[in-house]
Chains A and B, each alone.
Chain A
């Protein structure tokens, strides 16, 4: 079976800086894959390329056997690739529920006229959208339920904003979920919770997950496979244990022996 997401020779440069340099990797259906690498390795650019927010200079991205390079972000989302952002980007003045309901935009069909005439189909879809949005939020237990549904997103605590962003992505019923540093800025307890959550996403909702993560406990806890990226290219790939003991990876993170000696 062909992989769900296949990336071949992906290259993207900004002026003189090559952010992604001939990257090739794949994600199989049902896998949880972590992308790790030092700051500035090109991980977020990589996500932007997959979701169509930026266009690669060369290379192919195949999702479910379909080329998605050149499609608009909304088309890619419709095919089933949803993402979160490293620096949480919600719609701050919309309510928690509305934020998630926006996530269902591509899964709903009502036209403007049916909204104006309040047709039966429109009302049914609207009720359904609200129900599914609440259902998605219930994935996070009671944290984003009850009175919080009608609060503006900006009134949420940092951790809840991150959760809301994940819920918004989940609401679009993706096949592949891209999480950009889901535990950044979270305390250890919350980090553990997110780690469990990522596992549950696969079990309960059948998502395939590709995540960027810096916290090695999370990477170790959830990943089937780890891809190490440095300077826009794949440095290593394999299970967490394989990668963690890889000499090149250690050097990329900590510098070479000579450099270390100079610092030390």
Chain B
């Protein structure tokens, strides 16, 4: 809501209580938490690792920028206006918000001050090896300790006040400014990608226009240019009253189908030229993301539709990888039929079906947490068996199976990452299609019913045994395809590739992306697998970022970035129920009081 409308409502209705003032003590408490987080950033080595990245030539190194993003974020949090309550006027953001942000920011900055004092007084490198005199030099800007503490507090306060000041901006400005700033940062971080894409798109001059050199930081003019372009773009989007989604929904059905087909063709066309535009390195990143996406689509069926939390999902990935490795590699320990990839594929499927059924059968009558723990166990069993000396004559033990031949289809041979892009995304599209078609069938409905209420689903005729078994089997098949492609592309399989962390990553992908929704899962795979590969400095902190991202998502957007409509409904059930009720009965209830009592929902 903008300032103008806020003040109008506040003055128009005198019966309202004035809005409660911002709680400065809460801001200070938040600032203390901010101090811990801000001091943690240099302590775990982020400042030092990121410092060599210059965002905009000739200043703004990423390390310090990243650290001062913390007071900024905490300032923003501290200055959030209180929720509007019934009978109270809406809070009008003002100087108080900036003050609250500044308080939190100063405290967060002081966290770094304390850290600097500690580094000066003690040698902490026994615990945090990163806390070196060089780091102190960076943090203090070369100033003596007293002035350095003042400087960091002041900088923190400034960042916090700016963070708090965001609330003062009108919505549309805010929604254009922040994404534009983010794009400047992203553009600079993904400079290699940008350069590659520009040259792939035959516009290499754009690289020299906005970057100092290929692979170098943004120039000042370049940064301003990127900012202006994205700011204008978001400003334009923000001014439009209707979203694409609602426009699409308003179209008659035949035209909806027409647009969907057009979108499909566009996606296919983009995929077809993608490897050429993206080059070998980026294609490799996309290949990795694609393999995880394939797995995520499988888990999406097991968890997103059928509601079965499988924490040992990596086992199916391993089954696919090892089955195809044994059948195709000449170095398979005991038995090497040396089939082609396609020849091995039916056996991969059979192995996946067997594995899916093997996991599903004992857990048929289990629900929720029990299921999660048991499947977690299965995942570990698979890895330990593959690694064991006992089965080494078949699976090669810790040495794994090497020399897996490249994928060949007829005369086509796939070797480079760019080549592999096509089969991987062909399988991804296949998985997406299977997901869509099963969703709109009695199987999809049975899975969803089972997820919603297992005993009622059974009472309504859903055979829980077949429903669970089939969900596991479909999920297992998709993951095994991913595994087979993974083995063929890498050329070897080792037990340690099938760690529990793979299961967790796939789970995080579908949670962050949006459970039960194919585009959401795709976005999740790109963000969680693609970005860490591209931002190599960040890859060291990959799991820290996963954790932080997961917590932020759970607090603010538990349904994921691009949720299925169902999932969004589920997690905002009260509001949705309320809205729907108002939509239906709001007018009726006003017109005739008779209809209203019916809806005590």
Contact = CB atoms under 8 A, between A and B. Distances in A.
A77 B459 contact: yes
Given A93-B566, A157-B601, A158-B598, A102 B460 contact: yes
Interface string B455-484: 111111111100000100010000000000
Contacts of B441: 110, 112, 115, 122, 126
Interface string A108-139: 10101001101000100010010000000000
Nearest to B580: A155
Interface stretch (A5-13, A21-29, A83-91): A83-91
B449 A91 contact: yes
Contact of A112 (B443, B566, B599, B600): B443
Interface stretch (B213-221, B236-244, B272-280, B568-576): B568-576
Contacts of B545: none
B41 to A, nearest CB: 40
Contacts of B462: 74, 102, 105
B253 interface: no
Contacts of B566: 93-94, 152
A252 interface: no
Contacts, number: 135
A77 B598 contact: no
A159 B598 contact: yes
Looking at chain B's contact residues, the main secondary structure is helix
Contact of A103 (B438, B452, B461, B597): B461
B437 interface: yes
Contacts of B584: 148, 155, 157
A94 B437 contact: no
Interface in A165-196: 168-169, 172, 187, 190
B585 interface: yes
Contacts of A98: 445, 448
A155 B581 contact: yes
Nearest to B444: A115
Interface residues of A, number: 50
Contact of B569 (A51, A102, A154, A169): A154
B442 interface: yes
B448 A94 contact: yes
A59 interface: no
Nearest to B571: A93
Given A102-B460, A112-B438, A112-B443, A152 B576 contact: yes
Contacts of A159: 598
A51 B437 contact: no
B502 interface: no
B437 A102 contact: no
A157 B456 contact: no
A160 B581 CA distance: 12
A230 to B, nearest CB: 26
A187 B576 CA distance: 25
B365 to A, nearest CB: 11
Most A-side CB within 10 Å, residue of B457, B470, B567, B585 = B457
B452 A91 contact: yes
B461 A78 contact: yes
A201 interface: no
Contacts of B458: 53, 72-74
A234 interface: no
Contacts of B453: 89, 91
A156 interface: yes
Contacts of A91: 448-449, 452-453, 456-457
Contacts of A106: 461
A91 to B, nearest CB: 4
B438 A94 contact: no
Contact of B464 (A74, A89, A108, A154): A74
B372 interface: no
Nearest to A72: B458
A187 to B, nearest CB: 6
Nearest to A125: B442
B570 A105 contact: no
Given A98-B448, A106-B461, A116-B438, A190 B598 contact: yes
Contacts of A77: 459-461
B446 interface: yes
Contacts of A160: 598
B154 interface: no
A82 B456 CA distance: 11
B449 A93 contact: no
Nearest to A101: B445
B436 to A, nearest CB: 10
B577 interface: yes
B345 interface: no
B477 to A, nearest CB: 11
A117 B270 CA distance: 26
Contacts of A55: none
A225 interface: no
Interface in B556-601: 566-567, 569-570, 573, 576-577, 580-581, 584-585, 597-601
B445 A105 contact: yes
B168 interface: no
Contacts of A92: 452, 570, 573
B434 interface: yes
A116 B434 contact: yes
A93 B433 CA distance: 23
A168 B460 CA distance: 8
Contacts of B461: 74, 77-78, 102-103, 105-107, 172
Contacts of A122: 441
A161 interface: yes
A112 B470 contact: yes
Interface of A: 51-53, 72-74, 77-78, 82-83, 85, 89-94, 98, 101-108, 110, 112, 115-116, 118, 122, 126, 129, 148, 151-152, 154-161, 168-169, 172, 187, 190
10 pairs of A and B residues whose beta carbons are closest in the complex: A155-B580, A106-B461, A115-B441, A157-B599, A91-B452, A77-B461, A73-B459, A105-B461, A73-B458, A102-B449
13 contacts: A72-B464, A94-B452, A98-B445, A102-B457, A103-B460, A105-B460, A105-B461, A112-B438, A112-B443, A116-B437, A154-B577, A158-B601, A160-B598
Given A104-B442, A108-B442, 4 more contacts: A105-B461, A106-B461, A169-B460, A172-B460
